[in-house]
Structure formats: C-alpha cells, structure tokens
Amino acid sequence: MVEKFTQNSDVKLIVEEKQIMPSQFKRFLGRKGIFSLVRNAEELSNQIYPFFFGSDDITYIQQLMQTTANYKKSSIITLIPKNKEILSENFIDSINEEIQNYKIKNEKYKVENIYKDNEGNLHFKMIYAKKVKGNIELIKDKIKEVGVKISKTNDDTNKLIIDIRQNDTSDLKEFDLFISQINIAEDDLKLFDIEYITLDKLTKENKIKFYDKIIAHKYNGWKFIDVKSVSVCKGEDLEKEELDNDDDEEDGSSDVISVDELAGIRTAVLQGNSIRDSGIVKRFEKENFYFTSMSLKYLIQSTLEAFIIDINFKGTNNIKIDIIKTYGEDEKGNEILAILPSRQQEEIILKFQKEVCNIYESLL
C-alpha cells in the first residue's frame, strides 16, 4: 500500500533508467487506455512525465520493481488429519489455534500477519534467524521470512494443502521443524500426518513419466518452447549430475550428460514425442538414473513475454516449483531478461502447483 505521494519525476526516472522495461510499461499504459508508439526508454519517460498515477498504479509499479531480485519460489505439502471425521474448516481452525498458542510462547520461530481470507484459507509469515558467516568469519544473524498459505483441497477430502513460499532449501528445512512443533495438541497427541510430494514414492518408470506428463500438459495462453536444463540422480548412489542449457549459464562439466545428449531429449520433446523415446533417456533407465529437476520455458502468447519454470526435487524431501527467469522484448523486438509483475508470477506458480499435484496423484 502506498502511503506517500510519488513525484512524477520519480516515475520518469524509473522508466528512463529501465528499472522497468519500456515494453512492460507500455502494456501497463495500454490497460489504462494510453497507447505509446515511442521506441526507447528516454522518449517514453518524457512522454509519461505529465501523467498522474494513482495509488493503485504506484503499487503495481512497485511490484514490477520489487520482483527484480526475487522470482516467485514455492513448495507444497499435504496435511492429513488424525481425526478422520473432522471437517476441513475445523481442521484449519485447529491448526490456527495451535499456531496462535505457539506464537505466545515466543519460541525460535516467530509468527506474524496471521489471518483467514474470505475463502477460509489461513495465511501467515514464519520468521527465523539464520546464522551466516560474514566476510571476516564473524557469525551474523540473517532474518528470513517464509510466506505460508494453508487451504482446502479440491477433492472433497479433509486434507489441507500448505503452499510455502521459500527462498532456498534452508527455508524448507526450517519450515519442517516449525510445522512439527505445531503438530502437538492436547495430551501430546499429533494433529496430523505430513505427506510430501517426493520421487521416493514413484516407481522407476513413473519418475520419468512424471516429467513427461508435465511437458505434455497444455496451458491456455502459454506455448511450450524448450527444455532449458535437466538434472539426474543415480538411484542407489545418489550421484547427482546436472547440465544447464540456458543461454546465460551453459554448463558442460557433467560427465553423465553431454550437450548432444540433452539435445536428444529436447528434440524428442519438440517433435511431440515422449522423452522416453530418446536414446539418452533409455540409457538413463538402463543405468538406474532418473530426473531430479527439469527447467521448462514457455511463451505467454498474449504479450510475447516468456518464463522458465523449474520443477525440482534436489536438496530436499519435497518438491520445489520455482520461477527462475522471465523475459520481455526490447525496442528492437529482441528477447531480454525482464521481470513479470508479482500477480502474473503468482498465476504461473498456482497453475503449475495444481497440475503437479494432479499428475503426481495419478502416478501413485
């Protein structure tokens, strides 16, 4: 929420310095019925200088800027109540009560901004201090915040879904510790069981089919473009290798996967075939390797923006669904890194969360 008037000169400077890409700002103007034909940031900044932008406009502009450092990252787990007869609404209330009690105790994990929305979903922030080493090896505290949403599932059960907005794997590990401390009711009885989306529960064949189905799914308004990176793990040895095919971070150091081998996977996908049809994947299966992450690029057809989403099981027992890069176009129509609005990233994350859950459940 904007509480202070924003000067026109401030907005002009943001556009002129390309803190927001001109193509993004012109789309923002277009939604307000203002259409600009200028081609560069300086001309656009001069053009919009006389305009008045209201509170909602400035909030939206801030969202574009604030997402520059942090793309949306998420993980999801399922809570299954010990009381099989409890209604999901009452289950959420029970968890809310335990979180409120935990907050009063002033334990390691702080809880703030607890509220229920109009749909009955529970929201809060978990805050903790992480020990990090400084440049002179002094131990310092880094305060970290993890956004959490607890909601009902859509399958007429009393299970709950926890949407965790983590920044890294350490956030997930800390949240696991936090939720285990919440999971105690009267008489030291547990309130729920925790169910993770993990590759361990899938057969060898379905570990590959999981990613096959993700690639095959068609999203309204998005066009699948490419497989940008693949990570694999050897079954028993947990020997992990990774190859990144991103234009900005190409990594050919893996002895297991070469650039040509990744190209074989990409060719199979782009021809509409199963990734299992490629020779490299057949070799993976034979040698007991399976995928642990895959980064996929999609085009947003209405705006010609693009994003890369990473579906990742590395470093944790649970799945991570992260936006790792987003793209726009410069004045010449060339693709460049550009930040999508927070609300647009949120839409992407939620759609992939839903589809990942559906695919995973179908393969169990």
- Region of poorest pLDDT, from 60-74, 123-137, 214-228, 232-246: 232-246
Q: Given this model, what pLDDT does residue 343 score?
A: 87
Q: Given this model, what pLDDT does residue 238 score?
A: 44
Q: How confident is the model at residue 277 (pLDDT cuts 50, 70, 90)?
A: confident
In percent, the amount of the chain with pLDDT more than 90 equals: 41
Q: Which residue carries 């859950």 as its tokens? A: 357
Flag whether pLDDT at 313 surpasses 70. Answer: yes
SS3 300: strand
Q: Given this model, what pLDDT does residue 256 score?
A: 39
Task: Share the mean pLDDT of the chain.
Answer: 82
Flag whether pLDDT at 48 surpasses 80. Answer: yes
Q: Given this model, what pLDDT does residue 5 score?
A: 64
Q: How far is CA 357 from CA 47, 65, 164, 197, 360, in A?
A: 46, 31, 14, 8, 5
**Residues 283-303: what's their mean pLDDT?**
88
Alpha helices, H only, 159-302: 169-182, 204-216, 259-270, 279-286
Contact 275, 215 (CB under 8 A): yes
pLDDT in tens, 330-355: 777 788 888 888 889 999 999 999 99
Q: Given this model, what pLDDT does residue 156 score?
A: 75
Pairing, β 289-300 against β 305-312: antiparallel
Q: How confident is the model at residue 138 (pLDDT cuts 50, 70, 90)?
A: very low
- Region of poorest pLDDT, from 143-152, 162-171, 329-338: 329-338
Q: Given this model, what pLDDT does residue 237 score?
A: 46
**Residues 156-174: what's their mean pLDDT?**
90
Q: Given this model, what pLDDT does residue 242 score?
A: 45
More reliable by pLDDT, 211 or 268: 211
Q: Given this model, what pLDDT does residue 239 score?
A: 42
Q: How confident is the model at residue 198 (pLDDT cuts 50, 70, 90)?
A: very high
Flag whether pLDDT at 252 surpasses 70. Answer: no
Q: Given this model, what pLDDT does residue 185 score?
A: 62
Compute how many other C-beta atoms are within 10 angstroms of the C-beta atom of residue 85. Answer: 7
pTM of the model: 0.76
**Residues 171-197: what's their mean pLDDT?**
87
Question: Which tokens in the block code for residue 343?
Answer: 């609300």
Question: Which tokens in the block code for residue 107?
Answer: 């334990």
Q: Given this model, what pLDDT does residue 271 score?
A: 66
What is the rounded distance in angstroms from the CA atom of residue 95 to the CA atom of residue 120? Answer: 13
In percent, the amount of the chain with pLDDT more than 70 equals: 83
